[in-house]
Structure 1
Amino acid sequence: MGKGHQSGYDGPPPAPQPLPIAVVDNHTHLDIARDGHRAPDVDAALSQAVSVGVDRAVQIGCDLPGARFTVEQIDRHPQLLGGVAIHPNEAAVLANAGALQDAWAQIEQLAAHPRIRVIGETGLDYFRTGPEGVQAQQDSFRWHIDLAKRAGKALQIHDRDAHEDVMAVLDDEGAPESTVMHCFSGDIHLARRCVARGYYLSFSGTVTFKNAQALRNALAIVPLDRLLVETDAPFLTPAPYRGAVNASYLIPLTVRAMADVLTVDVPTLCAALSANSERVYGSWSD
């Protein structure tokens, strides 16, 4: 889930030039409203995305209401697969209320749905939650890793200001076969460590930001077969529309920026992103 409001552009951005080969929005939140706006109309959002070559998406529910919403929507929309989890910040709140284990049990039940292909987003967030919540976050992260392995699902990781602890927990627990660093935010050294472990790195609109050269340097060393792209909508809208509400139809802006960094043509990158998504999550038609 996103890293807070970014000021700048106001208003709905225009649709970008369509992609030549359809890709997947690897991580979106169709249940979340931002900055006084309503949550998106799901049918309209998916249709707008298809019109620019984003024909599939992974809807992520990172609290119990969001997880239930996700299961409802993946039953209605063949363009969607789903992920469910307790977000690390939510884990700390629930643990403080004595409700975390009950939440885990509900997530495990929802995760049994055949179109739930992801356990996540889970991980660690030391930006919004202070030291008092670290233990609960780490306990919850370990539980989700175990669930992903038991259920045979991909794992999507939220990592904010916690790179070393995220890597340490994954090394200690043993990562699932398909592990995705959602909204990768590390430097070139962390990228190399993730690639060496076989993780997938998913890049969002942040890679287009002017102050994100370190992130672009990290992207440049990632092999094509380890790359994914996402919005984290409604957050992290790519330039030049930073500050607007993000949506899947804006993915082409991020894809073209990624292609520039990687010095590959856009069709080649699109084909790799689509193939990687199917490898991680399986077929949307199953």
Structure 2
Amino acid sequence: MPSRTPAQDDKNTAPPLPAPLQVPVADSHTHLDMQSGTVEEALAKAASVGVTTVVQVGCDLNGSRWAAETAAAYDAVHAAVALHPNEAPRIVHGDPDGWSRQGAREPGGDTALDEALAEIDRLAALPQVKAVGETGLDYFRTGPEGKDAQERSFRAHIEIAKRHGKALVIHDREAHADVLRILKEEGAPERTVFHCYSGDAAMAEVCARAGYFMSFAGNVTFKNAQPLRDALAVAPLELVLVETDAPFLTPSPYRGRPNAPYLIPVTVRAMAAVRGIDEDTLAAAIAANTARAFAY
């Protein structure tokens, strides 16, 4: 009987362990709180294939508190705290799913957003919190009604990151020009990371001139992602990071199945092929870049 292909496997089945990296790297952006299993299991599985550090990213107040608590408990975990771009309009307007779903929470208004930002500010001061993010703009899931709240929240996060000397982690979905404009207007923090980089090669050159880090996720392996590979090809090696954004964006050939930090080697090898360098050279650069970006 012929063996099953990954595409034929149950989509809920975790992909197999990849061959370990010889040079350890960090997963610069993951959501352990959204993954199955325990933190201990996720970290052990990742370490077994050479992924020895993760940045746990919060998207709302509860997630940010959990990120800070988890980073305090595990040496291999660093925290990032923020209100996701789609969270800000939900707080202000009360709709938990972007304006139209039933069961929306009561509108909180600008005062509620200010209170939430104050809590992010408090968390950002903690030593185990290395970054403020993911923040930015998302025009894919939030319509025009949410833009003002997103922008106000984004500008506030930039200020928090600068005041605490922390990295800024950007979520940019279908909002490239406005994200770059606001960073220029506010003055970007010294260390700014474009999480799940989604721009093209021209934007990568803009980011490079500004010294922004570009973190590539599993979608760089997708067949329709040539613009991402073009961007990776021109991004300065000293500004390149890798991430899972797990449980999302599982790299090919496991697309659609659960993602986790242990799958970083799959993406690293695909990235090395795009760059035309060996995986050890890329891994060493990524490791140094991530430590520099998040100051750990």
Q: Which category of TM-score, normalised to the shorter sequence, fits these structures? A: over 0.9
The answer to whether the Cα contact below 8 Å between 2:85 and 2:135 also exists between their aligned partners in 1 is: yes
Q: 1:21 aligns with which of 10, 23, 26?
A: 23
One-letter amino acid matched to 2:210: R
One-letter amino acid matched to 2:203: L
SS at match of 2:160: helix
Quick one: distance in 2 between partners of 1:79 and 1:267? 21
Q: CA deviation at 1:95?
A: 1.6
| Matching residue of 2:211 | 198
The answer to whether the Cα contact below 8 Å between 1:63 and 1:87 also exists between their aligned partners in 2 is: yes
Write the deviation string for residues 148-189 of structure 1: whole angstroms up to 9, x where unpaired.
Answer: 100000000000010010011011111000000000011111
Q: CA deviation at 1:40?
A: 3.3
The answer as to 2:54 corresponding to 1:41 is no
Which blocks of at least 5 consecutive residues in structure 1 are unaligned?
1-6, 34-38
Q: 1:152 aligns with which of 165, 176, 180?
A: 165
Q: 1:91 aligns with which of 88, 99, 104?
A: 88
The answer to whether the Cα contact below 8 Å between 2:124 and 2:161 also exists between their aligned partners in 1 is: no
The answer as to 2:57 corresponding to 1:60 is yes
SS at match of 2:134: strand
The answer to whether the Cα contact below 8 Å between 1:8 and 1:243 also exists between their aligned partners in 2 is: no
TM-score by length of 2: 0.90
SS at match of 2:34: coil
The answer as to 2:116 corresponding to 1:119 is no
Q: CA deviation at 1:237?
A: 0.3
One-letter amino acid matched to 1:111: A
The answer to whether the Cα contact below 8 Å between 2:132 and 2:157 also exists between their aligned partners in 1 is: yes
The answer to whether the Cα contact below 8 Å between 1:8 and 1:241 also exists between their aligned partners in 2 is: no
| Matching residue of 1:12 | 14
| Matching residue of 1:70 | 67
TM-score by length of 1: 0.93
One-letter amino acid matched to 2:80: G
Q: CA deviation at 1:8?
A: 8.4
SS at match of 1:68: helix
Quick one: distance in 2 between partners of 1:124 and 1:95? 15
The structure that has the greater radius of gyration is: 2
| Matching residue of 1:3 | none
The answer to whether the Cα contact below 8 Å between 1:121 and 1:157 also exists between their aligned partners in 2 is: yes
Q: 1:81 aligns with which of 67, 78, 91?
A: 78
Quick one: distance in 1 between partners of 2:263 and 2:120? 30
Identity of aligned residues (%): 56
Quick one: distance in 1 between partners of 2:56 and 2:40? 13
Q: CA deviation at 1:282?
A: 2.0
The answer to whether the Cα contact below 8 Å between 1:125 and 1:158 also exists between their aligned partners in 2 is: yes
The answer to whether the Cα contact below 8 Å between 2:167 and 2:294 also exists between their aligned partners in 1 is: yes
Quick one: distance in 2 between partners of 1:214 and 1:263? 17
Which runs of 4 or more aligned residues in structure 1 lie more than 6 Å from their structure 2 counterparts after TM superposition? none
Quick one: distance in 2 between partners of 1:82 and 1:14? 27
